[in-house]
Amino acid sequence: MIRTEITGTGSYMPEKILTNKDLEKMVDTSDEWITKRTGIKERHIAAKDEASSDLAVKASRQAINDAGIDKNEIDAIICATITPDMLFPATACQIQKKIGIKEVAAFDVESACTGFLTALTIADSMIVSGNYKKVLVIASEVLSRITDWEDRQSCVLFGDGAGAAILSSTDKDRGIMSTYLGSDGRYGNLLHLPAGGSKMPASEDTVEGGLHYIKMEGRESFKIAVKKMAVSARTALKKAGITIDDIKMVIPHQANMRIINALAKMLKIDIERVFINIKDYGNMSAATTAVGLDQTLKSSKVSTGEIIQLVAFGGGLTWGSVIVKI
Ligand code: ACO
């Protein structure tokens, strides 16, 4: 039976750090409010000449080295992002060009903070079908470019970064055990970027109105996030035929420390078994779980043969979970 194992990971966060103290000088906020209400202390911000593909290339090279493969063994590239270099061509094609990978399938997926789990799910299906052997899955975001730096409710939350993984075909008893994805388009307005698409093309008015920035109904998104992340985790556990006690580490999306605490409580899992890096990076949308995966696998928190669970929630609204035996 063909399975999909994760054979290498990487991540990259831009050098520049923006602290809560820095934000105090930009909007009417305080380090105390941000820390208490979100758990975030700082976030990384891309340099002016860094686009999503640039962050992605650095994370991907690490993942390729970590997997110990030649770049030309990769037979598909999937990039999850809501901040592509441009609307088209796909950022995955830009990554392919910059790394110098031969002619292979390359495309982007967009399901906001759930994007990395969506990309893992697609890659898993491609590998299990027998048609692909090694897929480079990336999540890369430069959210600072679509953040309204005058909106104190949202600008304190986001950061830039990228994570990547090499998924490989295996016949061993390890790798992806189950995947689950869900969405409800009726909640699209809770988290969206109104302008720049075919519905509302860029114009002087859209720029004037700040409609190229993230718009978020924080409180409403919060409530649904907790509920849907718990549903996602439970559904993926059921599909894998295991319980939360079998999971060594849960890697949740890092939107708000209070969401992570509430999820741990609902799943009845000790917070020690939940991966947390929100303090240092904030919410990097799709890149968050990709970076979390890399940092978890390279830590002493898990070892070969143990099971980890990724859980995410984001714009769409979308949600999902992936369970992996490492
Ligand atoms: N600094 C100081 N005060 C603030 C700030 C700030 N940065 N932001 C809001 N406030 C104020 C509000 O104005 C309000 O003041 P008022 O009571 O005088 O009206 C008060 O703080 C409380 O505001 P709330 O919006 O109720 O604050 P809340 O506790 O809900 O926290 C937050 C806001 C952090 C945005 C939270 O709702 C949240 O994390 N939501 C979830 C976001 C999320 O999960 N998004 C999905 C993933 S993102 C993606 O997919 C790209």
Tell me the per-residue pLDDT of 275-308, one tens digit each, with 9 for 90 and over.
999 999 999 999 999 999 999 999 999 999 999 9
What are the chain's domains? 3-172 (3.40.47.10), 177-325 (3.40.47.10)
Q: Show Cβ contacts of residue 268 under 8 Å, excluding neighbours closer than 6 positions.
A: 244
List all residues whose CB is within 6 A of at least one atom of ligand 1.
29, 33-34, 37-38, 112-113, 152-153, 156, 191, 218-219, 221-222, 225, 255-256, 259, 283, 285, 314-315
Backbone angles phi, psi at 47, to 5 degrees: -70, 160
- Taking only the tens place, the pLDDT of each residue in 3-56 is 999 999 999 999 999 999 999 999 999 999 999 999 999 999 999 999 999 999
Report the residue count for the chain. 326
pLDDT at residue 326, as a whole number: 96
Which atom from ligand 1 is nearest to the alpha carbon of 219?
A: 37
CB-based contact 305:325 (threshold 8 Å): yes
Q: Is 308 exposed, middle or buried (0-12, 13-18, 19+ CB in 10 A)?
A: buried
- In the chain, helix, strand, coil percent, each to 5? 40, 25, 35
pLDDT at residue 92, as a whole number: 98
Band (pLDDT 50/70/90 cuts) for residue 156 is very high
Pair of tokens at residue 105: 């399938």
CB-based contact 64:8 (threshold 8 Å): yes
Whose C-alpha lies nearest to ligand 1, atom 26?
219
How far is 315 from 132, CA to CA, in rounded Å?
29
Give the three-class secondary structure for 38: helix
Reference 40, options 23, 26, 15; nearest CA is 23
Catalytic residues: 113, 253, 283
pLDDT at residue 199, as a whole number: 97
